[in-house]
Amino acid sequence: MTVKCPRILSIAGSDSGGGAGIQGDIKTITMLGGHAMTAITAITAQNTIGVQSVHRVPTEMILAQIESVVSDIGVDAVKIGMIGSAEAARAVADCLDKLGIPIVFDPVMVATSGSELADGETIAAFGRLMDVASVVTPNLPELAALGGKDEILRHGCHLVVKGGHGEGSVIVDELYAPGGLIRRIEGKRLDSSETHGTGCTFASALAVGLGSGLDLNAAFEQAISFTRIAIIEAPGLGAGSGPLGHQFVTDFQDDNR
């Protein structure tokens, strides 16, 4: 018997500590009932304290991974995280442009630990990825580095502005269409330092929702709920900013925490 589940391709870097990147994406996609596939853009030596080393995967190998899964298994939605280089950003955008499926782009620049994951040339090439993305999901520092809301929306994509880096006891997450604000969700700020991989988790959860056929509004709400509970359920691993508790998220449809 063939069981229909959303086929989600994560194009991102590998996090050896298991909290973010490819590993965080696989956990999120699996817990939400999707089939996770990967195109690894970089291999990192990384833990909860920082990123000790990065080995970037050649562009042709990234493209080969994408072609391999697209040609056989098929893809219902794509999540893009750490991209590795400007050359890879442009090539991946060209490759995905013809697929006609939801694409979630999380413009990763800096790890939760503070380690840089994208240089200036790569960030400058993010515009090409925003051209093909359905929705872009920056945190507040990333939003500023990309020129603000209007600059991102001019690419014709939707935009989620994540409020986790803001101040105060309330986090505000906002969803924008090219024409302006369409949804605003407020939630109490969680008192936790176990937040390694929150951006990856949110973007992957959003991709699963879209790949499952949810509209963007419903997928946005589901992704926020899943991410919040994963933070609450974090197992407390490592000496720094620890990974989320993806494996403990079982019921997120009615989250009032």
Active site residues: 162, 195, 197-200
Position 36, amino acid: A
CA dihedral 143, 147, 148, 150 (to 10 degrees): -140
CB of 174 closer than 8 Å to CB of 163: yes
Residue whose structure tokens are 């589901």 = 222
Those residues with Cβ within 8 angstroms of residue 205's Cβ, 6 or more apart along the chain or in another chain: 28, 32, 219, 222, 223, 226, 227
User: How far is residue 89's CA from residue 255's CA, in Å, rounded to a whole number?
Assistant: 36
Q: How far is CA 225 from CA 186, 199, 208, 219, in A?
A: 11, 13, 13, 10
Give 46-94 as a DSSP string: E-SS-EEEEEEPPHHHHHHHHHHHHHHT--SEEEE-----HHHHHHHHH
Angle among Cα 160, 21, 190 to the nearest 5 degrees reads 55
Contact 227, 24 (CB under 8 A): no
Tell me the C-alpha to C-alpha distance, in Å, between residue 104 and each of 69, 117, 156, 193.
18, 18, 13, 26
